[in-house]
Amino acid sequence: MNTVKVDFSKTVGKMKPMHAVNNGPVGGGVRAIKGNFQLYQDLKIPYARLHDASFFSSYGGEWSVDVHRIFCDFDADENDPASYDFVPTDGYLQRIQAAGTQVFYRLGASIEHGKKKGTFPPKDYAKWARICEHIILHYNEGWANGFHMGIKYWEIWNEPDCKNADGSNPCWQGTEEEFFEFFKTAAKYLKGKFPDLKIGGPAVCFLGSGFADRFLPYCRAYGVPLDFFSYHCYTNRLEKFSYIVDEFKQKLTENGYGKAETILNEWNYVRGWLGEEMEYSFASEKGLKGSSFVAGAMAIGQARELDMLMYYDARPSGMNGIWATETYRPLKTYFVLKAFSELYEMGTNVQSQATDGLYAVAATDGKTSGVLITYYDEDDSKAAKEVKVCIQNAVNGDRVKAEYFLVDENNDLKLLREEIFTANEFAAYLPMTLHSTYYIRLS
């Protein structure tokens, strides 16, 4: 018998924001233009990273977010408000905050697979840092008719180690050594100006590049501040996902950055990046398999030494499994995120154990408890399972109502049944098809 064990009396820490995303809502509210604002707001997404926002017209398009899009003429005076075009980005950030989500600001450029403009090394690293200083001042301290948004996280650059199949880099057109010097200059300057903000990066593309093995010793040698270290992971195997999380944490600890937050701020199901494998990946991300992968990854992230997960991408795009890109109809991953959001609101993570392709995460607030369980495997031919869920100490008292919600091909977090248990230890039995996800609410 496949089993999941949960003991709600054994707390293991706080629930962490494993359901953060890249990018924000479309539309300004339920009565505004067609969009997904209300759906987005209902998910209670904790953070939205702004990477690749400039690809989407409703976010402000080619005039938004990226440093070179806000400060278009690098030879202009960085102290003059007239040198900046904040308007498109202002509206985008206001919509994110109106949805109840906090902004995670990526300083740098969107990925450039074609013409290169924003991914060249700045010709003056110190001036680039001062430009970023004024962007922060605009959004946090009201400079240039700005705001007091309280944006906490400021990330320097994105994927300096990214490589295409032909060897080109769509994210950094300089050398690795140039990037190290650039990052050192920017991080030291911004942390000096804003000691209470979280300054970090650099959104390492993948573990296998070896970039972190050279970047982190450099940072240690030159005293580069790192409030958080960000990196990416695209895979189709949850065991590899778990391994990568552990490896990056170990590298940070070995280099004296063990207290830095670790943020995995791009991830999704990917079998391969070319041809039929990429087509399969896109289809899976938008379907049930992708939603099960998301549930499993959130469970792993909650259990490992990881501070935040940020799904790529909530922007209506090819790699978005949350809503349909044309109609904004919620897809399967939407409902998995919604279930995790309820656990996150409960606040306290509790001990859970799962075996044989099952992944579980559980939480409680002392009155209501919940557990999210998914059955994931890369092999699409795996048979259904009968799962025994052993639950202890779910609520205070000896009467527990269990509500069972299911995400599968036919159900979108639908309440299937309710049961009453009159003991503080009991077992529930779930028939689980491959890639299905159950959420059990206990009260």
Q: Is the predicted pLDDT of residue 56 greater than 90, yes or no?
A: yes
Give residue 33's pLDDT: 55
Give residue 398's pLDDT: 77
Q: Which domains does the chain have, with CATH numbers?
A: 16-347 (3.20.20.80), 349-442 (2.60.40.1500)
pTM, full prediction? 0.96
Mean pLDDT of 165-169: 93
Q: Is the predicted pLDDT of residue 34 greater than 80, yes or no?
A: no
Q: List Cβ neighbours of 264 (8 Å cut-off, separation of 6 or more).
A: 230, 231, 232, 233, 245, 301, 306, 308, 309, 310
The tokens describing 120, both together, are 């060249």
Mean pLDDT of 186-200: 98
How is the beta sheet containing 400-408 ordered, strand by strand?
411-421, 400-408, 437-442, 369-375, 358-364, 348-354, 2-14, 385-392, 425-432
Confidence grade of residue 30 (pLDDT, cut at 50, 70, 90): very low
Do 230 and 155 touch, CB atoms closer than 8 A? yes
Mean pLDDT of 89-103: 97
Give residue 28's pLDDT: 61
Give residue 424's pLDDT: 87
Mean pLDDT of the chain: 96
- State the DSSP string of 358-385: EEEEEEE-SS-EEEEEEE--S-TTPPPE
- State the DSSP string of 31-78: TSSSSSHHHHHHHT--EEE-TTGGG-GGGTGGGSSSHHHHS--TTS-T
Mean pLDDT of 51-75: 96
Mean pLDDT of 186-192: 98
Share above pLDDT 90 across residues of the chain, in percent, rounded to a whole number: 95
Residues 304-342: tens digit of each pLDDT: 999 999 999 999 999 999 999 889 999 999 999 999 999
Residues 250-297: tens digit of each pLDDT: 999 999 999 999 999 999 999 999 999 999 999 999 999 999 999 999
Mean pLDDT of 33-62: 94
